[in-house]
Amino acid sequence: MNIAIFASGSGSNFEAMKRAADKGLLSGKISLLICDKPGALVESRAEGHGVPVVSLSPKTFSSKADYEAELLRELKKYDISFLVLAGYMRLVGPTLLDAFEGRIVNIHPSLLPSFKGLDAIGQALDFGVKVTGVTVHVVDAGMDTGPILAQESVTIEPGDTRDDVEKKIREVEHRLYPKTVEQMLQHLQGV
């Protein structure tokens, strides 16, 4: 099964997913990176692994539908059948949702349904919670509202800085996301 990873930033979850694939822990192949921010660090990470990169800014398209139609054309070129959002900072629209129904997953740095949307770690710190975490979910039309596949908690200790919490979250993400993606791939392949 060919996988495309969608990312907008540095690509630490891309790296974790690629490491898992290289170790044989994923039954799919990471065949493409889609990046919506040309020049983002994730692009050079993908190129370093020999993964093709499609870098398209939505700002260069007249509508979200046109942008996603172009993405769909690119995904078809690589025979992609599963999408992994890894720090992709856009809502997925109907064009991709219809084409990949039930085959798009996202990772979010909170225990959903708490702290949806942008800056979930900042929201958790501002609210003063003692426990936050990571959620992997199927993507639907809402923001972080799809069916939850996996969650793992992270304790916020007294004195933890934002950097401390981000580090704890990343450690969980890099372990939980590949494992959950593999479970989803197995399910989709009827294994």
Q: What is the mean pLDDT of residues 102-110?
A: 97
Other CB atoms closer than 10 Å to residue 6's CB: what's the count?
A: 26
Residues annotated within a binding site for (6R)-10-formyltetrahydrofolate = 64, 89-92, 106
Q: Is 59 exposed, middle or buried (0-12, 13-18, 19+ CB in 10 A)?
A: exposed
**Mean confidence (pLDDT) of the chain:** 97
Would you say residue 94 has pLDDT above 90?
Answer: yes
Tens digit of each residue's pLDDT (9 = 90 or more) over 126-153: 999 999 999 999 999 999 999 999 999 9
**Residues annotated as catalytic (active site), given as ranges:** 108
Q: Is 58 exposed, middle or buried (0-12, 13-18, 19+ CB in 10 A)?
A: middle
Q: Are 11 and 41 in contact (CB under 8 A)?
A: yes
HSE-CB at 21 with a 13 A cutoff on CA atoms is 21
Distance CA 17, CA 107 (A): 12
How would you write the chain as a 3-class SS string? Answer: CEEEEEECCCCHHHHHHHHHHHCCCCCCEEEEEEECCCCCHHHHHHHHCCCCEEECCHHHCCCHHHHHHHHHHHHHHCCEEEEEECCCCCCCCHHHHHHCCCCEEEEECCCCCCCCCCCHHHHHHHHCCCEEEEEEEECCCCCCCCCEEEEEEEECCCCCCHHHHHHHHHHHHHHHHHHHHHHHHHHHCCC
Residues annotated within a binding site = 11-13, 64, 89-92, 106
Distance CA 187, CA 183 (A): 6
pLDDT of residue 190: 85
Tens digit of each residue's pLDDT (9 = 90 or more) over 23-80: 999 999 999 999 999 999 999 999 999 999 999 999 999 999 999 999 999 999 999 9
> The domain 2-188: what is its CATH number?
3.40.50.170
Tens digit of each residue's pLDDT (9 = 90 or more) over 56-68: 999 999 999 999 9
